Amino acid sequence: MPLRQKSPDFNELLARELAEAPDSLFRWTHDGLDDSRYFHWSQLIRHTPPDGLTHEQWWLVLKIKRSSSARTVPLTNKKGTNFKFSMTDEILKSVEEIAARLGGPRELASGTLNSTSRDRYVVRSLVEEAITSSQLEGASTSRKEAVKMLDSGRSPSDRSELMILNNYRGMEFVKQNASSPLSPELVLHLHEILTEGTLDNPADAGRLEPPDQQRVSVWAYDQQVHVPPPAEELLDRLKVLCAFANQDTSATPYIPPIVRAIIVHFMFGYDHYFTDGNGRTARTAFYWLMLQRSYWLSEFLTISKILKSIPGQYGDAYEFSEDDDDLTYFINFQLGVITRALDELDAYISKRQDQTKRIHTVLRSAATAFNARQSQLIEWIDRDSIPTLTAQLVSNRYQVTPQTARNDLKHLEEYGLLSRSDSKKPIAWVPAPNLRDKIASLEDEVS
């Protein structure tokens, strides 16, 4: 949405108050006004100011306090002014909590993400992020169809499916190259992966927006909400951004890696390096930097799913930061998104632990003699209501040979959990119509 109300000019407010009531201004700045919610002007004017202050005076005092503790970064707006942010108590607490949760021991959740199940969660998160990230930029394929495409390995049937497949490949590229520093060359290659075959002009894939064409700006409905810097500046700005992204923790001033990754995410959107695919590239670069700093659990998060549910807040965070040259708004917003994604992951893990325990009690018992992969296969069928299975589908999902996959399916067929369909080429299996009853009867056998 377009910015509802731009903040008033700080210098004009300051000059007026210094001329009219300099003593009051000094007193106000030492009154300890609460700024924990870090309002932008368009939010602040919807709240009642503290006693004795107008909205303008309240805003002025908060701005003075923020300026005294602001940290400047070597990234600039279109006017050449450096962006800044405040390391507030709220940000410090959020960063500490998120860092502990994202970089915790790999024995997370009592082994739920252990070596035998980790790949399943990675696949789930990559698929979810690929789908929702693409949907944020216009892909219309349903989640069900997208999952079927990625699981089966079939070719995309339309542009929307290709966007999703490209995002999946982009996330895989990030995982494989997480130890490499960010560079303009790698960014361009990443953009090429993310946009291949989905742009109006195929030559735009992996290419900065050229200066010889009209600059693409950001619109909300019929209103222009952001005009990026001139295209002639893009390469130099990208070089500066990559240098900033690659700074280690010894750089001054100290910026926590999570905050640094969020700032990089913001700048990709602000600079708008490409004719299309800027959002996808921004979010994927964020994952890159998080994994580079050993926040290994980041690959399990699906932040795009959350961003898709709150597009207005996402847009506001960008616009507040641009209007005020203050990245704190966007940092606060993204820290909230990451925390919410972690909470959703915790809830998912807890649910899966209960289901896995139930399924494994039955399927991995000595009486039924199902191995771990076969148990996971039944769990997947039960969870996602998979209608049809082939050896190739199972082979792709669990990274085993087609013959091993075929043996697994035959084994499950022997226990009545699957049955052969009428399909002959390829041979296919379908779940028993009363699959959960079948599982329950197996439980009775071993109880």
Dist. CA 319–CA 170, nearest whole Å? 27
Please, are residues 5 and 41 in contact by the beta-carbon 8 Å criterion? yes
State how far the alpha carbon of 295 is from the alpha carbons of 102, 128, 210, 283, 413, in Å: 5, 19, 35, 15, 41
Beta strands across the sheet bearing 389-390: 389-390, 427-431, 418-424
Please, are residues 246 and 186 in contact by the beta-carbon 8 Å criterion? no
Q: CA triplet 12, 16, 18: central angle to 5 degrees?
A: 115
Which CB contacts under 8 angstroms, 24+ apart, belong to 89-95? 89/36, 90/36, 90/38, 90/332, 91/259, 91/328, 91/331, 91/332, 91/335, 94/335, 94/336, 94/339, 95/256, 95/258, 95/259, 95/335
Closest-CA residue to 162 (of 194, 132, 133, 114): 194
What is the structure's pLDDT at 107? Answer: 46
The three-state secondary structure class of 86 is strand
CA 283 to chain centre: 6
What is the structure's pLDDT at 268? Answer: 97
What is the structure's pLDDT at 386? Answer: 85
What is the structure's pLDDT at 356? Answer: 64
Dist. CA 57–CA 323, nearest whole Å? 19
- Within the chain, which residues score under 70 in pLDDT? 1-4, 26, 29-30, 104-126, 221, 352, 355-356, 359-360, 363-369, 443-447
For helices 391-398 and 402-414, angle between their N-to-C axes, nearest 10 degrees: 110
Dist. CA 335–CA 89, nearest whole Å? 13
What is the structure's pLDDT at 115? Answer: 39
State how far the alpha carbon of 390 is from the alpha carbons of 67, 345, 372, 397, 427, in Å: 62, 30, 19, 11, 6
Q: Please, what are the domains in the chain?
A: 10-70 (no CATH), 74-347 (1.10.3290.10), 365-446 (1.10.10.10)
